[in-house]
Structures are given as C-alpha cells and as structure tokens.
Amino acid sequence: MTKIIGLTGGIGSGKSTVAKYIASKNIPVYIADDEAKKIMDDENVVVEVQLLFEENILNDKHKLDRKKIASIVFQNPEKLNQLNQLIHPKVKQHFKDWLKTHKNAPFIIKEVAILFETGGDKECDKVILITAPENVKMDRIMKRDNIDKNEILKRMKNQLSDDEKSKKSDFIVQNINLNDTFLEIDKILKILKIS
C-alpha cells in the first residue's frame, strides 16, 4: 500500500519550495493549500463560505476575496475554525480520490501547512517538518506576501510552534540554505524508498 508522508512547516519555513523540489524527482506531491484554493473557487463553496460571514467577502468578480477573508479569520479564531470545518472535509475527500490515482507509488508526499493542527498527522506514515529561524521566516513572508510584521505574527499564532511540531515529526529539516536543505531531503527520500 502507498505510504503517506506528511510534509509540513510553519508559514515562511519554505515547505512549498521543498514540495516543488520533491515533485521534480517524479514523486507524487499533493499540495493541500492549492487544492483548498481550487475548491474555494467552486460556485457552491463560494456561497457556503459567504454564509459564514456577516460582511461581504466577495470581490467584483464574485469570487472569494482571500486577503479580506485572511484579515478576518486571523483575528477571529472562531471564524477560522468555522472556515476550516467547511473546507477541510472537502479537501480530505479530494485527497482520497487523488490517492487512488497514485496507488502504485511506493509513497506520496502530502504537503499541509496545518497538518498537526487538523490531526492530519494521524493519517501519515511519517512526517517531515521544515523549520527555519523566526527572523528568516519573517523576511521570507514580508518579501513574498508584502504584509507587515503584526499580520505575520497573527498568522503564526494560529499554528503550533516548531518545538511542538518537532516532537511529533520523524524528520526535521532546518531550511536556511536551500542547497543544504535539498541535500537533507535527498537523504530522507533515500530512507523512505528503502523503508
């Protein structure tokens, strides 16, 4: 049976870059955030999400305004929880269907930002955690998302700390220098292939 390897890390850790690197090695990689975004573009889901909010969260194209939603839910844990309860079951079902199409692979990578927070680690055979020092994460996020430090800290508060995640992970990769990170990932992939 195909093994499920969880790949996770806090915002700005570089887990998406690592996921792309693994995918370049012809290993099936499921990016949960990307699939969640596609699901949230579905017309029926747009209506369901809008019903969770009193204010209008649609843009002028009648699609969900992700920035507006993020600014609301990262200040309101209850709204974030409601949104997650709506979207996560849909992503979970999509992943099950996707997994069937990769049933002959020895293992697949499931990249999920909030793997532990949603209990998704229980469905994984092993977990790879990507970490980085907080100042490195901050720099990456500010460059990538063009948001200020306070906004980043709010988002970080909604995720478990790297220390907590480390205790539950099988492999921990400190991602400061990409070349070193990729070498570390290559070693882990070798271990996974023979285990």
3-class SS letters over the chain: CCEEEEEECCCCCCHHHHHHHHHCCCCCEEEHHHHHHHHHCCHHHHHHHHCCCCCCCECCCCCECHHHHHHHHCCCHHHHHHHHHHHHHHHHHHHHHHHHCCCCCCEEEEECCCCCCCCHHHHCCEEEEEECCHHHHHHHHHHHHCCCHHHHHHHHHCCCCHHHHHHHCCEEEECCCHHHHHHHHHHHHHHHHHC
Q: Per the structure block, which two tokens stand in for 95?
A: 């992943």
- Residues annotated within a binding site: 12-17
What is the number of residues in the chain? 195
- Residues annotated within a binding site for ATP: 12-17
Q: Phi and psi for 7 in degrees, rounded to 5? A: -125, 120
